[in-house]
Structure 1
């Protein structure tokens, strides 16, 4: 009789709560939709448990065995909350797995991504021609080299031109190498920071799951102790 009373009180307090599950079909592998579905079912079960308990407790005060009636209502509420906890735990497990897959995919993309193209090294500006100092009594003006018959530079300037060209090429290569090293260092730092952030997020999610499980366990023990004292 007490069970029938509690069942009737739950049906009056929250009609249709048992049908809180969505009726739409879920696509295979759609974990996000499944997570939302489980969370909604868990919330509906918790709301059903509280509403049923409040209605049953009010009805129990009109019965002769008040304490026994309330204990039975508490047990029914605990059973419903236990079902809700199972759904919520499954939702958290799926959410954690989805986060871990996203972190693994991000790491794989960072590893497989081709290096960024480097801009072509800019040629160093040509060295300006230095002006000759004015001629004085002590320092006579240097004599200009006599032009050759073909009109080209005299053979004496060829080693200097080759040396200047080699120095420019060496400086250009050194600048390009330095740019590549700096870019590689920045890419490595960004990859390390991103990987660390993803690992920290996964650890925080796992810690939150452990904290929630400990809280639920303490709540379950407290409710069982309170029910045993009645």
Structure 2
């Protein structure tokens, strides 16, 4: 975006703001509300279109992110002004509704809440106490059940480890016996072979 367009766009944004502030004081409340909403909508649309074109222009510059951040801030400033106009429109609308409600013949003034007396203490209901006691008892039972299941699982695992160790010891003993038998057969075979060789 050229530097000549930026002041023109800012001027285009500032002039509607000034005219909206001047025009918000004239006319009926409904006219003021619609005028303020229209100005806010126009500001938002201008902010979006200005940001879109400025963002495209930023991609042609060297410091792209700084340029985009600056344009985002400008857009945010314009949207903030639009929000102020919308808030003013809501304030006028609310004031008008309150005025109409106050002028209606069947309107009752709002009742003031009675202040609580300082000496009143609130006692918990017996039903609430019973529910709380049941919840606590259920939580204790759940903890006990969890502890029991953990200890049962631990004892089952230790029993399985003991059985596995016993089986491993049995296999080791069987392997030692098999090795001893094999070595004995080898010795018998070698002795027989030596006897046969001497007998010839």
TM-score, length basis structure 2: 0.44
More helix by share: 2
TM-score, length basis structure 1: 0.39
Structure number with larger C-alpha Rg: 2
Q: Which has the higher contact order (CA 8 A, sep 6+)?
A: 1
